[in-house]
Amino acid sequence: MSAIDWTEIYNKYKGLWVALDDDEVTVVGHGKTAKEALLNAQKAGYPEPILNHFPEKLLPYVGFIHK
């Protein structure tokens, strides 16, 4: 399994929800909410896309969560 480069997708859709085809790189829908992205993908003929949110900013994280 190789790494997937989402740089172009992130640059175009940052701050939005994105629906991806099974290849994990083809955008089949997008929207401000997961529901909107899903509905757009379903309208385009993709009943069960992969949903992912791309944040406005990519922030580094170092450490752990203490519970």
Q: pTM surpassing 0.85?
A: no
Question: What is the reported pLDDT for 2?
Answer: 84
- Residue 51's CB is within 10 A of a number of other CB atoms, namely 16
Domain count, the chain: 1
Task: Kindly report, residue by residue over 19-48, the tens digit of the pLDDT.
Answer: 999 999 999 999 999 999 999 999 999 999
64 located within any domain: no
Any idea of the CA torsion for 27, 55, 32, 30, to the nearest 10 degrees?
Answer: 0
Question: What is the reported pLDDT for 63?
Answer: 79
49 located within any domain: yes
| Whether the Cβ atoms of residue 15 and residue 52 lie closer than 8 Å to each other | no
Question: What is the reported pLDDT for 32?
Answer: 98
1 located within any domain: no
59 located within any domain: no
Residue ranges making up the domain that contains 32: 7-53
| Whether the Cβ atoms of residue 24 and residue 1 lie closer than 8 Å to each other | no
44 located within any domain: yes
Beta bridge mates, 27: 20
Region 40-66: mean pLDDT is: 91
